[in-house]
Chains A and B, each alone.
Chain A
């Protein structure tokens, strides 16, 4: 047979593809019986890769560690990694692929709220489990989703309380990136501050686009707002990428933490890795975990992480701890249920308690949120945080904020008789606002 070069190429291509497809089809069939598959749905490319890649790595590490301990239910765990590429609709497609094609038992993933909202109907429809590890705006509770990050009452509200009590702040700048998490959080904070007697003119709200890099005007506005003779603080819900230029500008314009402290909800050890933190010492962040917390469990985790990544400079952060907690909870629930069947695991999840990395325990509550300690840390010149305050006990996550008129009557309880994510205590009916 005579072939031209193009044809040869096409044939080879087709053969390779065929083999690939065949392999792809065969692998799960062979593997299905002796492994449990764990889906990892984090962006490895695009804008969110900066934050999410680390979470993929930490999941791989946890799965490897679990397999070293003998796996789960006598089977080995197998990670299935997909890349939704920071593209929200693609998150839903990839979630569908993980659940129906790869038949994963559970998915760990998402970072932004919009990606979570995008996959939510898929998990509901195909009845699978998602562990969501990032602090978020609340106002949601869904049967198939377990929220291991902080709800607003586990981060924002205690931070504001700290500033009021310890720093005597009377004037507030709420600065955020223009999307759902900052807007909802600021709405809750504004209502909370007003309830605490802060006057309208003592609150300044400012939104900036994603990736905003020219902070000169806003920083000088903050400076002007702070010169009214009252102690002023900035509550920042500025998202990842825009933070570095924001903090650089603060340093350049000489805003010191002693004068106008900035407390951030989205700035962790990873974000600080790209900045010289010398001028930022004393600015704050509120999280449920800091790498600097001295606890044997944390030290072991950090050592394992550095060994796993092969990089002694890698840092750990709060969403990573959330995945550790979520993964351990899932393992425990599966052991309790004796199966990976979604319905059984979802029921077994509630009440599961595992140690967190800061020396306490986290329990999964009926509203699918967990209990966490709230820590306030000050930035140090080595890029780490030092805890200056923490809540005396654990704070249970409150999904429906008590400070918003729409949601103050709603509660969520996924246990058997009620089984409702938005039960309205005023009307006594399931199905208030939201999903």
Chain B
């Protein structure tokens, strides 16, 4: 997107350079050089002056300024767009786009920007790019004017609306115009009409425009008050939908974290305190995969997670098998000792990762297709959360299918239901135990890949999920995968409906209390396993 804008701007710039008179360019150059004079407020005035020229030639320098790429050469205080290449900076003329010079970092001063300047630049760019041939740029420009509500832009917008072909951008422009009208000193009739336009937009940013107006006397205040209550009514409805969405999203995280435990603890009955560390190992596998991709094959970055998923399964699964063979198999039937031993293993794994990778967070990048969000009505849905929900459900159903439809799944169920009988039928029970534990751990590792997208990748990653995982498995019913699914989503949604009223801390406590009471009533959880397996 940005590249597209830049290309378009470069074209605009080239055209301007050909047609523009030399004298005008010299004036512009002086204005641009003025950016380096004085502090933030002087720079802000200069940005306004540049915007006032209405010349699209100043767009690149303003964009570069917002990015922090504009520097002043110390020797002659000329202002350039600079790009760091190796240890030196390449200076580009802001008007012609020609490379002028290559200097060391000591020879130039950065023109600093702060939030206020970024806002000023955004407003200026909005006014300058309203007529851009690129639809995306026009949309962004209209949005920028809506945010700033700059009354000076009304004439520009009127002209832009006339020409606009795209109906959705035209609507956005009318809304931007309305926002500008509300900040202007136009007549009350105009303002009331503007309020009606903004009312149709709904959403939070309309509210923030209208709420201050409710205190105005006369027809404007009345119209604003009516519009605010209409928008608030609509928002309240969407808020409920949003809570459900957040709940589903939290539930999917819980499901991912718990699903591996549902195998090791739920099916095998091993109280595995090192479960969280399997999640962590999965997250670190993602980190290593991304590091390798970054240095060797950067074009693969967007698919790094798909590469990491099977690898995380294998690495965490292998560690799981090693733990089962090395420690847990000696402790079957002794839950207390298993608990202590796996707790010890969890500490060892944490410290091992800390020694290898260091104690600080590692940066796991988000592929571009997982960044950002889209909106359904007033409900904002972020791509990464959506991806995690889908991923959690895929993992869940694959696991179900694996247990129900494959020979190994059959053997696994046979061993956990009646070990002696399974053994008598010729199943190698120790091997099945190891593989089952490996499967549970491997799934935890896959969860780690997903969690690396929303949480810290640090040695402590696993600890924050271990309690929640046990909670979900116990609540859903030990030994039942469907229970884990329903349990995770129930707890997620309950938590998210409580949070706005009770706060995050109290919300969590209430959920815990609820689970304790629930377990008193139904000790075997939501979906209790029936039959001899429980008694065995």
Q: Which residues of A contact B (CB under 8 A)?
A: 44-47, 49-50, 53-54, 166-167, 178, 206-209, 211-214, 216-218, 220-221, 223-224, 226-230, 241, 244-245, 248-249, 251-254, 257-259, 261, 270-271, 273-276, 281-282, 378, 380-381, 386, 388
Contact = CB atoms under 8 A, between A and B. Distances in A.
- Size band of the B side of the interface? 35 or more
A162 B208 CA distance: 23
Contacts of B115: 167, 257-258, 261, 282, 378
Interface of B: 40, 67-68, 112, 114-116, 118-119, 122, 147, 204-205, 207-213, 235, 242-243, 246, 249-250, 253, 347, 350-351, 354, 358-363, 365-366, 371-373, 380, 382, 384-385, 454-460, 463-464, 496, 499-500, 503-505, 508
Given A49-B354, A227-B207, A211 B464 contact: yes
Contact of A218 (B119, B371, B385, B504): B504
Contacts of B213: 229
Given A49-B354, A253-B382, A244 B456 contact: yes
A378 B114 contact: yes
B178 to A, nearest CB: 15
14 contacts: A167-B116, A207-B505, A213-B253, A217-B496, A224-B204, A227-B208, A228-B211, A248-B366, A252-B373, A274-B362, A274-B458, A275-B361, A378-B114, A388-B40
B496 A213 contact: no
Nearest to B354: A49
Nearest to B242: A220
Contacts of A274: 360-363, 456-458
Nearest to A270: B360
A230 B211 CA distance: 9
Given A241-B460, A388-B114, A252 B211 contact: no
Contacts of A166: 114, 116
Given A167-B115, A206-B504, A207-B505, 14 more contacts: A50-B459, A209-B505, A214-B250, A227-B205, A228-B208, A241-B458, A249-B454, A253-B373, A254-B380, A273-B363, A274-B456, A275-B361, A381-B67, A388-B114
A229 B496 contact: no
Contacts of A212: 504
A252 B373 CA distance: 7
- Give the dominant DSSP class at B's interface: helix
B350 A45 contact: yes
B455 A216 contact: no
A74 to B, nearest CB: 36
Contacts of B360: 50, 53-54, 270, 273-274
Contacts of B354: 45, 49, 53
Q: Which of B208, B455, B456 has its CB near the most chain A CB atoms (within 10 A)?
A: B456
Contacts of A254: 372-373, 380
A359 B411 CA distance: 71
Contacts of B359: 44, 49-50, 53-54
A227 B385 contact: no
Contacts of B362: 274
A369 to B, nearest CB: 28
Nearest to A205: B503
A377 to B, nearest CB: 10
Contact of A47 (B114, B351, B463, B508): B463
B138 to A, nearest CB: 19
A229 B210 contact: yes
B453 to A, nearest CB: 8
Contacts of B380: 220, 253-254
Contacts of A251: 371
A252 B459 contact: no
